[in-house]
Amino acid sequence: MKSKSKWMILTMLAVALMSAGCGKKEAPQAANANTGDTKTGGSAAVVKASDTYPNAHLLADVKWAEEHAKDGKVKIFDVRAKGYEQGHIPGAIALNSGLLKDAKNNTILATEPFTELFQSLGVNSDTTVLLYDEGNALNATRVFYALEYYGHKDKVKVLNGGYAAWASAGKDVSTDKPAVTKGNFVAKPNDKLVTTKDQIKELNKQQCVLLDVRSAKEYTGEDVRSQKGGHIDQAVNKEWSDAVDASGADGVPKFKSYKDLKAAFDQIGVVQDKTVVPYCQTNVRGAHTYFTLRLLGFSDIRPYEGSWAEWGNAADTEVVK
C-alpha cells in the first residue's frame, strides 16, 4: 500500500508540473500606437497587445506631427480638397491627390510622371512623408497607397484625425507656402501591390478575398455609377468608412481600435492568411481600406486599381447583383 501511495503522489506531482508549463503566456509589451516606443517601468500602465495596431508606425498623432514639423527629413503634405490657403499645418505643402490618377488609362499615374511629381515636391529616397486631409483620411490614404506602390513603403504616415485633429488641439496654423528643393525620389512600381482586370478573372477564390468597399447600395446594384451595377462574383462588402469613428467628444474622425477593426474583418472572412483585393469605383476608397489593413498587419493586399470604373464599363466582365 505504501508503494502504491508513493506512486500516486509522484504521478500527481508530474501532472502538476506539466500543467504549469501550459499556462497562459504573458503578453509581450506593446508599442505605443503612435511612436513605436514601449511602455515600461514600475507600476505604469502597459498597453495591451490586443489594443495596439501591429503597424502602429503608419499612424501619427498631433504630437508626432508637431514634434517633426521642422525635421528636415520629414515632408508634410496637405491633401485636403480645399482650405490650404486659409490655413494649414506649418511647413505643410499642398498636394492634389487627383494628380495621382491617369484618368485616360484608368490606372495610377505612370512611373516617370510620378517620379517627376514627387521630386518637384522635395521628396528624397529617405524622406518620411506625413499626409493629412480633412479628417477621414480618404485623400491621405490614396496618396499613402500610391507612394507605397511606388516603393516608399514604411516611410509614409497618415495623421489620425487629419486637420480636424490639429485644429481641435488648438495648434498653430500657417498661410505661408514653404520653399521646396527638388528631391531625388525615384518611383519603382511593385506589381505585388496591385491587381488588374485580367488577374481578377483568374483569381483563386480559395486563396484570395475580393473586398468591395463601396456602399451597400453600390454593391447590390441599386446605386449604379457605371454602365453596369452590382459587384464582382464572390466579393464581400465592407464599406471603407466603417473603419473610422467620429463619435468622440471632440467629433474628430479617427481610426477605430485594432480590436474592433480586426473583429469586423474577421466576421466577413477577411483574414491575414489570404490575399486581399479591395476595390471601389476608382481605388480611392479602396486605398483607404488598403491603409486600414496595413495598419492591422496584413501583409498581402493588392487593390484593384481599375476598380468599378473599369469593371462596370467593360464588355467582357460579369457582375452579380
117/124 Cα distance (integer angstroms): 12
179/151 Cα distance (integer angstroms): 25
The predicted structure's pLDDT at residue 50 = 57
| Cβ-contact 163, 309 below 8 angstroms | no
**What cell does 308 get?**
468599378
Indicate the pairing of strand 254-255 with strand 244-245. Answer: antiparallel
For residue 85, count other CB atoms closer than 10 A to its CB.
Answer: 9
**Nearest by Cα to 122 from 202, 56, 181, 52:** 181
52/168 Cα distance (integer angstroms): 24
**Nearest by Cα to 148 from 182, 121, 118:** 118
SS (H, E, C) the chain: CHHHHHHHHHHHHHHHHHHHHCCCCCCCCCECCCCCCECCCCCCCCCCHHHCCCCHHHEECHHHHHHCCCCCCEEEEECCCCCCCCCECCCCEECCHHHHEECCCCEECCHHHHHHHHHHCCCCCCCEEEEECCCCCHHHHHHHHHHHHCCCCCCEEEECCHHHHHHHCCCCCECCCCCCCCCCCCCCCCHHHCECHHHHHCCCCCCEEEEECCCHHHHHCCCCCCCCCCECCCCEECCHHHHEECCCCCCCCEECCHHHHHHHHHHCCCCCCCEEEEECCCCCHHHHHHHHHHHCCCCCECCECCHHHHHCCCCCCCCEC
Domains, the chain, in order of start with CATH, read 53-168 (3.40.250.10), 194-311 (3.40.250.10)
The predicted structure's pLDDT at residue 220 = 98
The predicted structure's pLDDT at residue 48 = 52
122/182 Cα distance (integer angstroms): 5
The predicted structure's pLDDT at residue 191 = 96
Average pLDDT of each block of 10 consecutive residues along the chain (321 residues)?
A: 42 35 32 36 41 95 97 97 98 97 87 98 98 98 98 98 98 97 98 97 92 98 97 98 96 98 98 97 98 98 97 97 94
The predicted structure's pLDDT at residue 268 = 98
The predicted structure's pLDDT at residue 106 = 76
* Cut 0.95: pTM above it: no
